[in-house]
């Protein structure tokens, strides 16, 4: 009885603190009673479940479940960041964290090293892409979430962690001890010339110094080629980052004191306009910005601003459509809440936010429902649902085969086997993947299910046919044969693009992210189109005129 009273007293104290904490903030918007009432209900419920539920409950886990459910009812970008997730948050904002230095993802329910970072503890200790981590410090990893794995692998520099590794080609598991360290990942993995007079800069994320790093890359290109005739800025698959760095990056190409973005939210005192603050590096060099559906947030501020000010041509596919601004606020015990506080508006006045979501992804908005705006020279642009390129190129239109190969780690798994049978790549310039038939045999042997929409429908038809008997197994098998034949045609149709994926994965094993980017330029269809456009200056100029 004494225990129950003690726990009840603690929960009532928590409830009082929660109640007191909101009293000064909610009275302004008139929801004081509703918020206070629901906080009291929540506190009482939490107390009763934790005290009387049949099994022992971890209060922290129970609370986090409730918090996550609350956050999930809002937009996909409002999240609770617990104390154990702070290192991940630091990586997103600063591009560095304390840990082992490897991209690790769950593949076949086991944490798998997808890419060790160059000169990081993982690479120095001998971890390789494809290594499956079966235990950490002797504890089994099967069934653990990525957050749980990440929390264990991150830690103070100088501390050790022992990994038990299952490696393809090795009969027994390996034990590797790593010493954690501060890991820093460059946001500009590669820049260089892609032709005699056209430069290229890849930016992977808007962490700190993104603008300064792009500025330095451009200055280096201008030293290498004083008669620079064009620059390609690659923001494909760049999911964004710091708003200030988006402004700094725009400032590399546009003059000082230009309006880049305005934020507007419920708290009017927080509305702000962001202008460029420094002298630019170059406002005249022709510029092409590459974007795709993986370009989001800060990438869309930059590409949208370049478009609105007619500073350069956008090429690729329509961007993701994230026009929301997040701010983080401390909520005690080294935890934070990252929440959407505003929408951002680029120079033309448009907001590119997708207004609808399905399963956490933005729903495509027809152009007929998007409001028109005008660029500085009078060109028509649309709001909502992302930034549309001036030159739309989609080599995978009508097919999801490339995305499926990536999502199911098909190319990754193939390369894991390929490197066992082939010598390490010594030269980027001389390497070409020529074993296409071997890749096809791998697909046939592994019998990969690509889960196309047609295949999903066929699975449903199989189940229904068992119930109603309208379709025989012969009918089903005939349809399966036709689908398999169509998939083979689709794979052959995209041979060049798939070969590019394989080459990038192979060279990344020896040359890391820089090698992946560099060899990709050789086969990149969009780079070729950009070079073609730079070669036709009249067409380039006409695309920027109203």
pLDDT digits (tens, 9 = 90+) for 188-247: 999 999 999 999 999 999 999 999 999 999 999 999 999 999 999 999 999 998 899 999
DSSP 425: P
Tell me: pLDDT of 428 over 70.
yes
Higher pLDDT, 181 or 364: 181
In this predicted structure, the answer to whether residue 86 has a pLDDT above a threshold of 70 is: no
106: nearest Cα among 136, 140, 144, 137: 144
131 falls in which pLDDT band (50, 70, 90)?
A: very high
What CATH number has the domain bearing residue 260? 3.90.226.10
What pLDDT does residue 359 have? 67
- Are 162 and 51 part of one and the same domain? no
Task: Please name which of 313, 318, 314 lies closest in space to residue 544, comparing C-alpha atoms.
Answer: 313
Q: How far is CA 451 from CA 204, 267, 454, 493, 496, in A?
A: 29, 45, 8, 18, 22
pLDDT exceeds 90 at position 283: yes
Radius of gyration of the chain (CA): 26
**Do 346 and 408 fall into the same domain?**
no
The yes-or-no verdict on residue 24 having pLDDT over 60 is: no
Count of domains forming the chain: 4
Assess whether 325 and 411 both reside in one domain: no
pLDDT bracket for residue 89 (50, 70, 90): low
Q: Give catalytic residues, as residue numbers.
A: 297, 308, 322
- Confidence band, pLDDT 50/70/90 cuts, at residue 384: confident
- Does 533 fall in a domain? no
Q: Is the pLDDT of residue 3 over 70?
A: no
Give me the domain span that covers residue 516.
401-451+494-525
Reported confidence tier of residue 83, pLDDT bands at 50, 70, 90: low
Regarding whether 235 and 180 lie in a shared domain, the answer is: no
pTM over 0.95: no
For residues 323 and 422, membership in a common domain is answered with no
Average pLDDT over residues 59-80: 83
For the segment 123-135, the average pLDDT, to the nearest whole number, is 96
456 occurs within a structural domain: no
Residue 163 belongs to domain with CATH number: 2.30.42.10
In a domain, 464, yes or no: no
Q: Above 70 in pLDDT, residue 502?
A: yes
Q: 338 — phi, psi (to 5°)? A: -100, 115
Tell me, what's the pLDDT at 85?
A: 66
Q: What angle do CA 67, 70, 71 make, to 5 degrees?
A: 90
Is residue 66 in some structural domain?
no
State whether 270 and 207 are in the same domain: yes
Could you identify the residue written with the tokens 């690729």? 316
- Calpha distance 299→321 (Å, rounded): 10
Q: What tens digit of pLDDT does each residue of 42-60 get?
A: 889 888 888 888 888 888 8
Residues 128 and 153 placed together within one structural domain of the fold: yes
Identify the CA nearest to 274 among candidates 288, 256, 287, 291: 256
Task: Give a yes or no: residue 438 inside a domain.
Answer: yes
């Amino acid at each position: 009885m004494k225990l129950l009273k003690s726990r009840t007293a603690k929960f009532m104290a928590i409830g009082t603190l929660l109640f007191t904490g909101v009293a000064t903030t909610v009275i302004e918007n008139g929801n004081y009673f509703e918020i206070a009432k629901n906080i009291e209900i929540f506190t009482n419920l939490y107390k009763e479940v934790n005290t009387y539920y049949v099994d022992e409950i971890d209060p922290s886990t129970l609370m986090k479940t409730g918090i996550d459910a609350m956050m999930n009812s809002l937009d996909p970008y409002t999240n609770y960041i617990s104390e154990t997730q702070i290192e991940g948050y630091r990586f997103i904002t600063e591009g560095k964290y304390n840990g082992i230095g490897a991209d690790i993802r769950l593949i076949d329910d086991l944490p798998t090293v997808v890419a060790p970072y160059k000169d990081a503890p993982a690479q120095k200790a001998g971890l390789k892409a494809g290594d499956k981590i079966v235990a950490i410090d002797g504890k089994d990893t099967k069934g653990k979430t990525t957050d749980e794995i990440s929390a264990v692998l991150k830690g103070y520099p100088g501390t050790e962690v022992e990994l038990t590794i299952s490696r393809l080609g090795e009969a027994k598991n390996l034990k590797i001890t790593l010493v954690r360290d501060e890991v820093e990942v460059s946001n500009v993995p590669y820049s260089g010339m892609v032709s005699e007079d056209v430069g290229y800069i890849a930016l992977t994320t808007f962490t700190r110094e993104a603008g300064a790093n792009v500025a330095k890359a451009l200055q280096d290109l201008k030293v290498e080629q004083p008669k620079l005739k064009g620059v390609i800025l690659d923001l494909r698959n760049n999911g964004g980052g710091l708003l200030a760095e988006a402004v700094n990056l725009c400032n590399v190409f546009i003059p000082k004191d230009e309006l880049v973005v305005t934020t507007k939210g419920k708290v009017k005192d927080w509305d702000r306009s962001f202008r460029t603050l420094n002298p630019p590096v170059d406002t005249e060099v022709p510029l092409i910005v590459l974007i795709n559906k993986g370009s989001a947030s800060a990438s869309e501020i930059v590409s949208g601003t370049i478009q609105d000010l007619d500073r350069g041509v956008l090429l690729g596919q329509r961007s993701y459509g994230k026009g929301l601004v997040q701010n983080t606020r401390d909520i005690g015990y080294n935890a934070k809440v990252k929440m959407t506080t505003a929408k951002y508006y680029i120079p033309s006045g448009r907001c590119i936010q997708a207004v609808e979501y399905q399963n956490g992804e933005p729903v495509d908005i027809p152009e007929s429902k998007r409001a028109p705006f005008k660029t500085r020279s009078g060109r028509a642009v649309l709001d909502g649902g992302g930034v549309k390129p001036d030159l739309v190129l989609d080599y995978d239109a009508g097919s999801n085969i490339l995305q499926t190969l990536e999502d199911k780690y098909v190319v990754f798994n193939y390369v894991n086997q390929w490197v066992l049978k082939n010598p390490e790549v010594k030269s980027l310039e001389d390497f070409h993947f020529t074993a296409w038939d071997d890749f096809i045999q791998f697909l046939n042997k592994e019998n990969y299910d690509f889960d196309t929409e047609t295949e999903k429908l066929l699975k449903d038809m199989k189940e229904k046919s068992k119930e109603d008997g309208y379709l025989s197994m012969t009918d089903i098998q005939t349809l399966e044969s036709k689908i398999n034949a169509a998939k083979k045609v689709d794979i052959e149709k995209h041979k060049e693009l798939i070969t590019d994926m394989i080459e990038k994965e192979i060279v990344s094993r020896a040359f890391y992210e820089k090698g992946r980017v560099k060899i990709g330029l050789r086969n990149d269809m969009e780079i070729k189109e950009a070079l073609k456009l730079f070669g036709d200056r009249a067409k380039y100029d006409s695309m920027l005129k109203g």
